[in-house]
A and B are shown apart, each in its own frame.
Chain A
């Protein structure tokens, strides 16, 4: 016969079980959301490579230009979406923190194991850990900027990048987020058995990392060029 304490303990255990299942799922779900967002985000942002006009139209479309009287859209939408993303990022980070080697002993164990055993996926994960740590600080800065000054456009963004020195942020943020997100997506896929073709997935992740880095760096260069050609104060771009 089960005593009362047994039942309570069992109940607690069950709650803990349910919690850890939820935590794992939420971490994966938010990760997928953020990873997919990143894929789209970097493409939208790289539309600058097709010219200022192209980028302008992308922004106009995303900010709901067709519904606004001016035709430029509502930058407030950017603020709202950025806030949402910030929440998602915080949830993701909060759950991911479970994975961090919290104690110095854990960190040492990890480092010494990695010295003895040579395993590529563990190394990849290690870089995810490092990049995750960096992102924990940089992503909120980036999102906060978007919430506070949501105005986006070929000139406005270039101003931020070049004149406000945001490139310093982006040059670190870009590799960190690309590595973290692409290998994160790979890991989620194998973790839940979404695909059994691990080699293919890993190759895809590698290709995507290189590809996103290339378009990200090129467009960052493009903004730098545009920014360097602009004189202050900046006039927003009008097609």
Chain B
């Protein structure tokens, strides 16, 4: 048995994982990162549009600050998020952007003077301040009050991932590539590392660590069509689930992105609409203003996706051999803009559709895109149920997204969450010792070995590729944008059948080293459990919130459902997860539930909401008229971040205002 010891073990080498690894290494901790693939190929690279941070440099972002970002995020989440975490996040986002600039990200910068942009299908000229010249620019994104999404053309994720991985290389952080973590080593209370399988040699290796951070991204590939990379299969969530102790949060919260191309499901960035692109139906009609007169194409993703589906159901979709779709029109932005700021989009259109988006409309349809759910953690990123297990990024339910994530907040979560949680991980490693129980480690290795032996030498006949395909179809057909009780029940029972069948998997390829069929077989069983948490969670939640839309329960029900679903799998042989609920306390919210400002206003109020609103009004009036926004915030909902991240964020408006003040004197 090969054993590798380290202080901080990170599973997943995308932005979030690397950022935690860097934070660990900065403290002089021994750090190892495991990854299925080379770090720079991680799915973080696919984030095109940008990351939200309230820098407020551009004239269209003036007046932006942490408060506005926080409110947008909470409204986006349909009040499903953890408001403490959303605050921590909004506070640290500008710091992360600036840190990344120091690490080499070539953020797109502001050019002073007049600039032509497209807003609401009209060309508008805006004037950037002299003082803003050369500062980090931002574009408009859905569900935001201000232009807040910082970007590098439309390769933001790529630029960020390269800068962060380069930083990791410069710090000599080892990334063990083509290494798949398949189980967590734990004793029911504390996590001690993982057992991983080398995808080249097939060797099983036990990594024993003080802290284990899962940063393996989302579980989009449990769906047949997804914008996600094909490695986003939810194995990270399955690792936690299979401990029987750790819990997953809000697994039913699955986001569908409005504009993925048809049929392959590759994403075109929200930046297309942010920069002024429109959605059109089969008659060429711009239909979004009919549904959302206020935010139009730039309502939050869950709302736009639902409106698009609604519109197609009315027969307004464009027929194609792959079912109906709608059009994304970015021709009005002009060729120059498309070729510089939306270049990846152009390449994708050329290569996969054979069209020129500067001149042709792009066929799009809402497609599975993001997993709000994940491994439930506390605000420090640690599992409340299994000590030493951390999770960060899309893999986690840290819970700043609740039931719907805003565009530009996921890329931001990876680096901001990584920055914050990385420090907590390092604290944990400093405060705890390495506990090595070789018997325990051996038992976990042996268990995995038996599983592999069984697959290769066993009598099973089920085909892993087939099982996976059937699971993906079920998720597409019954756990999609609009959901209902009967279909969800059907999904659960069919998935359970598949899970049963997965006990009898058999392989044609008997190799023990590099064997794609074995890899598939090991994953599919784990994926099925993850899929079941999604379907079961959705079936149980009899309300509509954010991306979880029940046709049979169309109202957001704060009275009964202002809570977070927790799923766990205590009995390994059981066919269904155990569900329980964590209440969200309205009395502690800085922003009590209300109308989002877009979508349908049909919520059933929580009894505490009115009380809390009154309380907030009282607190504010007690503070008096001289209290600044920071004091007000601290009085309403104090939150904590690591010491080094506490200072306030400086903004251009601070220097501009103080300048103006001096003139006034």
Whether A and B touch directly in their complex, counting CB atoms under 8 A apart, is answered as no
